[in-house]
Amino acid sequence: MRILIPLLAVVVLIAIGTVGGGGARYLFFVVLPYAGLAIFVLGIVYRVIHWARSPVPFRIPTSCGQQKSLPWIRSNNQENPHNMLGVIWRMILEVLFFRSLFRNTTTEIRQGPPRVLHNPDKWLWASSLLFHWSLLIILVRHFKYFVEPVPNWIIGLQNLDGFFQIGLPVLLLTDIVVVGALSYLVLRRLWEAKLRYISLPADYFALFLLLGITGSGIYLRYFDKSDITLAKQLGTGLLSFAPVVPEGLGATFGVHLFLVSILLAYIPLSKLVHMAGVFMSPTRNMVNNNRWERHVNPWDYPVTVHTYEEYEDEFRDVMKAAELPVEKD
């Protein structure tokens, strides 16, 4: 059920996209993309502001390296930042290269005399890095459909992506990589008992949706080709607030665009909001300078404490008997 429901949901979305691409074109090619984009932008902004409204009462970075203490001990500003530069560097590594995932290990218990082994495991790191980077490159590549004139660097990126010049239109590496990586991410959830256990319908839905998008995109590029200048007319029209709905874009295109609209809207409403959340994580984005710079908690309030006077009042006699100094005799 956890797998079937999201699969069904994506199939239904594909069906809707197929029908919509043929029928209600203005709705599917203009209204829904705009709605998706609006929900995406406003949703992310809303979520970030919502997070920011909760203060960070304590400075709680996870220190993954040597602290800054004595001058002759080399501190690790990258894994345990002691200034803003360190934090920025840490965040760059985290966001662009998934530093923390790179540490991943797989635990195995070998029997006999029991041995707990922590085997390095870069599969999750590699597949998610490849997936995210491919998706980013694909997204950037797509701007050729949305802006005129096409900037040279986008063309350069596209040529790099098609470096091997296989087939016509040339095979883009990211197309292969993104599907491969996504498939791995799906398969590990199905294969590995631990992952199957923790996976929710939403986890599968996101992956199936992305597979639907990349799949329909690949189908459009290599199999169900159409006059792509029409797609660009739609794209530039949308991105200049002068939408035109050209004739001649087929059902597959409808599916592709519809799924993208859904994805855009889905991001801020779901776990996919991690794209913004990663920047807000207090264990990663804070300087570990607690002992030389005081962090203020905005909602700090006074609490009942047991004062020394109360303590001495209770124990004065025994303190005096033990010849411990007291404040009052």
Cα 140 from Cα 68, distance rounded (Å): 40
| Amino acid identity at 293 | E
Using CB under 8 A as the binding rule, the residues of this chain from 220 to 279 that contact other proteins are: 225-229, 232-233, 236-237, 239-242, 248, 269-274, 276-279
Q: Of the candidates 56, 93, 126, 251, which one interacts with other proteins according to CB under 8 A?
A: 56
Nearer to other proteins (CB atom), residue 18 or residue 100: 100
- The token pair at 329 is 């005799």
**Residue 147 binds to other proteins (criterion: CB under 8 A):** yes
Q: Of the candidates 134, 158, 216, 252, which one interacts with other proteins according to CB under 8 A?
A: 158
Nearer to other proteins (CB atom), residue 22 or residue 282: 282
> For the chain, percent helix, then strand, then coil, each to nearest 5?
60, 5, 35
**Residue 111 binds to other proteins (criterion: CB under 8 A):** yes
Question: In 142-172, where does DSSP find H-type helix?
Answer: 152-161
Nearer to other proteins (CB atom), residue 25 or residue 59: 59
**Residue 122 binds to other proteins (criterion: CB under 8 A):** no
- The token pair at 196 is 């199957």
Sign of the Cα torsion 242, 247, 253, 256 reads positive
- H or E, element range at 251: helix 251-269
Which listed range, 19-27, 152-160, 173-181, 211-219, lies at the site for other proteins (CB under 8 A)? 152-160
Cα 203 from Cα 299, distance rounded (Å): 36
**Residue 146 binds to other proteins (criterion: CB under 8 A):** yes
**Residue 22 binds to other proteins (criterion: CB under 8 A):** no
Nearer to other proteins (CB atom), residue 214 or residue 284: 284
- H or E, element range at 312: helix 308-321
**Residue 2 binds to other proteins (criterion: CB under 8 A):** yes
**Residue 328 binds to other proteins (criterion: CB under 8 A):** no
Least distance from other proteins to the Cβ atom of residue 12, Å? 14
Cα 110 from Cα 119, distance rounded (Å): 12
**Residue 283 binds to other proteins (criterion: CB under 8 A):** yes
